Structure 1
Amino acid sequence: MDEHENRRSSYPLTIPDALLQSEAMQQACAARNFREIFRLVNRRTGTSHAAMAAAIGKMTSSRVSDVIRGVRGIRGQEVMERVADGFGIPGEMLGLPRRPWQGSPEDSVRPEASTYPDSADQKTSGALPIPRMGDSDEINIEYSDLRGDDFLSDSHDMLLVSVWIEGRKQLMAINRRSILAGTVGGVLQGVGISQVPVLESGSALKSASFPKLKDSQVDAAIEHLQDMWHALVRMDNLFGPRHALASVHQQLSILESLLEHVRGNQRHEVLGLASKYAESAAWLHEDSADMASAEKWTRQAMEWATESGDQLMVSWTLFRRSQQATTRKNAAQTISLAQSVQRNAAALTAPVRAAARQQEAHGYALDGDERACQQRLDEAHAFAASPDAKGDGRTGHGDFCTPSYIEIQRANCWLTMSRPDRAVPVFERALVELPDVYQRDRGLAQVRLSMAYAGIGEYDAAATEAASALQIARISGSTRTLNEAVSVANAIGVKCDSPAVANLITAVRSETEF
């Protein structure tokens, strides 16, 4: 390794030379196409969004995700320079001044890279480590997913991997989980886990996401992931699924890997934590209007909770199944599942009791049973969570089920029973009292209020609330809220042509980020 390479490799996330010199990377850099640059680094090196953000500095993993999806861009020169330094990209490739690590122009003369033909019959000898960020660029791995982009999906287990070894490329079939450590290296290094799995010569795959850990390492990982879960719950409440879903799936991948090895009490702890993350994934998918994934992860959460013996979590997954039945407008299942939660009374906290009762009320609303619906909602208030909760789940399941949340559900039930006149004043009062931390819930409540206004012919008020909800949906990525805002716009657009309604229609038509 020459002097130039030594200087370049000292930066946080030095991408392999093979990637840097690839035509795709050179074209992306010449066009300052940071979306493509980020995508190449993420896909071809297996580096997580969190590790990329850490390398660049002053950037979050959610912003990296937004750049890759084209939601946001990179514009300021100072940010571009941080990207160049973080990834080890020479300044001239991005039209920037020479970077400090490049040295003087005389130092930059380097021999041209040699090219080698593909070799289909080349055999490897010894073990081949899966490189992590900072490894020598003499080994580069390119991932080729036969299914699509999401290589961490558990729908299919195999990837074709083009492995460059001393200048020669070989194609190998590798289990997704065996490359997981490369994508979560930043998190694992934080808890003292630095080893990665190896593929042995003559073997198609070596299953194990990472080797068996010491008890102290597992304990540290559990503590770290527990703190991460609380942060993700709060992030969801504040900003919605766009910012939380990718992180939840990353942590789930780590937990699934830990479950391959842990035993005894530690296994019960990991199972309990995994069930929480799975339930969070279910909710985030539901808010993203992906009900198939929501139901899949709810079932997985129930399985892990059952294995761990966590009766409270089992009950909570039944509550979530009841919510999903409400979305399908299945009154009988909504009521039955909510009642099954309440039968396990000894395991329930007060907020879970409140959540189950208000959920049962939704079933009665679907049935048109006004009296039973209102009775269950009144009962829920006796168990409501404190409005002072921070929205991070630290006080347990159902901490969102505050008095204002229950009243919002009362208003929703009035809408279900075709009584928008009763829903409007309840929504108006509850929104004033809703804690600020529940911004995503606020957006959904506002779009439902707009439906109620439309139902009583107050079209300007409906347009105002729908526009506000649309803004929250854009920020949070809540497809459910967006869809309902669009429905309101369509409904009132044929009834009224006032400026407020026209502005809402324009906002909906200009919406391109979902």
Structure 2
Amino acid sequence: MARSQAHRALPAELLASAEWQEACRGRDFARIFRLVKGKAGIYPSRIAALCGMTPSRVGEIMAGRRGLAHIDVIERVADGLGIPGAMLGLAHRPWEIPVPPRIGERLPEPRPVVSDEPQRIGSRGELDDLLALVDGRATRSTLTALRSSVQDYWRRDNAHGGATLRPAVVGHLRYVSRLLDSAEAGLRHDLQGIAAELARLSGWAYFDARQYSTARTYFTEALKLSHTQGDRLFMANVLSCMSLLATYDGNPNDAVALACRAQDAARAAGEQPLVMSMLHLREAFAHAILRDAQACHHAVDRSRVQYERSRGHEVEAPVWVHYFDETKLLVDTGIAYARLGESARAEPLIAEGLRRENADQRRGRAFHAFWLASAQLQLSKLDEACANAGLALDLTAAIDSPRVSGHVQELHRRMLPYAREAPVLAFEQRMRDALG
């Protein structure tokens, strides 16, 4: 990106100030732009030129009448004003990484470092990692760190929701994509696998934020990466995510087709009964939306059979499907029945699954509490429905998952016929207290 070098670095005292760091953490661009104007002397017209915006848009942002949410625009602001990526929850920006000198150029003589202790590089691996910071090369240690980050993202997604993870995950995906351009042959395959997982995670985060078109774009990218790798099992995993997305996006026929295609891909990869069990339940969800009771029950039965086969199976299941345990089988079966309208069968299954779940699985528990309340509302169990709706509401207030929040609001709309009943009035008061 060509831009004025005069604005490459903001004043160090501004970057170090508590007010600036708080504004960046909250992505409060009204305050950020005002601080840039007041502390760095960069006026709105210049901010607009540097960030590729119109002056009127910058003015609206500074006045608090407009915000910034799209990741591409936030990256443009970071690059235009020289805001380090980490301050805004982004990956390191390209201009933050030193560029190696061209042949014939000389590096300036290093200034001596005064230290009480001699600085030493302990191993060849550490030296490789330091050099990788300069020229963007991946090492084995890079792969280990990236895999650890992916695991941490999934843990945080389950505990806190995926919406707030989007900038960090997308930034990591782009960083890995840059590493792929210059990766050694021995590391390229592993990097492609990590990129596919980050693309799927990006799609999932946007799905949880109810931004379905963007989610579909990232899922498609994950599918292409796993196809390049020849990883049919991971292709099945991505297709299952796309099937679930289609059920939410009002395309149940597509959801059935995607779930069945995922099963074909998994079969081609070999014996993986746990994966097949999960995929049959995704198919059951889609049949339930279509109100095809016979197909839904057949898919649930096949899921249960495959789960029993997975116990003690010789071939270890991939890590990404380990979440699908007996509790998940139980609660997802209940959700399939609830989607089908068979609430009497759904209620005990979801209730038992919710009872078994760990307390730190807040997003999953909120989601399952919603489905339990939904089934109980269909059964006219108003007190129990409102109690579990309250549990879903309390959990939703502690996470950032617009998908689950939307379910709670949907449940509230379905309570309108009971609007004068005491349990519903109490629930509505909890909603006002929690959501404003």
- The structure-2 alpha-carbon separation of the partners of 1:153 and 1:300, relative to structure 1 and needing over 3 Å to count, comes to same
Distance (Å, rounded) in 2 between the aligned partners of 1:297 and 1:327: 16
Uncovered stretches (5+) of structure 1, i.e. residues with no partner: 1-15, 43-64, 71-114, 119-140, 165-175, 183-188, 197-209
Structure 1 residue 351 displacement after superposition: 2.4
- The structure-2 alpha-carbon separation of the partners of 1:421 and 1:180, relative to structure 1 and needing over 3 Å to count, comes to farther
Uncovered stretches (5+) of structure 2, i.e. residues with no partner: 1-8, 30-39, 54-66, 84-91, 99-125
- Is the Cα contact below 8 Å between 2:160 and 2:399 reproduced in 1? yes
Structure 1 or 2: more strand by fraction: 1
Alignment of 1:33-44 (within 5 A): 36-39=19-22, 42=24
Look up the SS of the partner of 1:383 in the other structure. helix
Look up the SS of the partner of 2:158 in the other structure. helix
Structure 1 residue 243 displacement after superposition: 5.5
Question: For each residue in 1:312-365, what CA deviation from the matched residue of structure 2 results, as whole angstroms up to 9, or x when unmatched?
Answer: 111211111111121123232222211112223142533221111111112222
Superposition TM-score, scaled by structure 1 size: 0.61
Structure 1 or 2: more helix by fraction: 2
Structure 1 residue 419 displacement after superposition: 2.6
- Is the Cα contact below 8 Å between 1:447 and 1:466 reproduced in 2? yes
Aligned to 2:196: 275
Is 1:145 the counterpart of 2:51? The answer is yes
Structure 1 residue 276 displacement after superposition: 0.5
Structure 1 residue 408 displacement after superposition: 2.0
Aligned match for 2:214, one of 277, 293, 314: 293
Is 1:250 the counterpart of 2:233? The answer is no
Alignment of 1:73-472 (within 5 A): 144-146=50-52, 149=68, 153=72, 161=80, 178-179=94-95, 181=97, 192-193=129-130, 211-213=135-137, 217-242=138-163, 244-344=165-265, 345-347=267-269, 349-384=272-307, 395-436=318-359, 438-472=361-395
- Is the Cα contact below 8 Å between 1:377 and 1:406 reproduced in 2? no
Distance (Å, rounded) in 2 between the aligned partners of 1:415 and 1:116: 59
Distance (Å, rounded) in 2 between the aligned partners of 1:381 and 1:234: 26
RMSD: 3.9
Distance (Å, rounded) in 2 between the aligned partners of 1:339 and 1:395: 19
- Is the Cα contact below 8 Å between 2:289 and 2:339 reproduced in 1? yes
Aligned to 2:59: none
What is the letter of the counterpart of residue 352 of structure 2? R
- Is the Cα contact below 8 Å between 1:447 and 1:485 reproduced in 2? yes
Look up the SS of the partner of 2:182 in the other structure. coil
- The structure-2 alpha-carbon separation of the partners of 1:420 and 1:265, relative to structure 1 and needing over 3 Å to count, comes to same
- The structure-2 alpha-carbon separation of the partners of 1:192 and 1:326, relative to structure 1 and needing over 3 Å to count, comes to same
Structure 1 residue 481 displacement after superposition: 1.2
What is the letter of the counterpart of residue 161 of structure 1? G
Structure 1 residue 258 displacement after superposition: 0.7
Aligned residues: 362
Distance (Å, rounded) in 2 between the aligned partners of 1:324 and 1:482: 16
Structure 1 residue 444 displacement after superposition: 0.3
- Is the Cα contact below 8 Å between 1:142 and 1:162 reproduced in 2? no
Structure 1 residue 420 displacement after superposition: 2.4
State, as a whole percentage, how many aligned pairs show the same letter.
Answer: 17
- Is the Cα contact below 8 Å between 2:246 and 2:252 reproduced in 1? yes
- The structure-2 alpha-carbon separation of the partners of 1:327 and 1:438, relative to structure 1 and needing over 3 Å to count, comes to same
- Is the Cα contact below 8 Å between 1:385 and 1:403 reproduced in 2? no
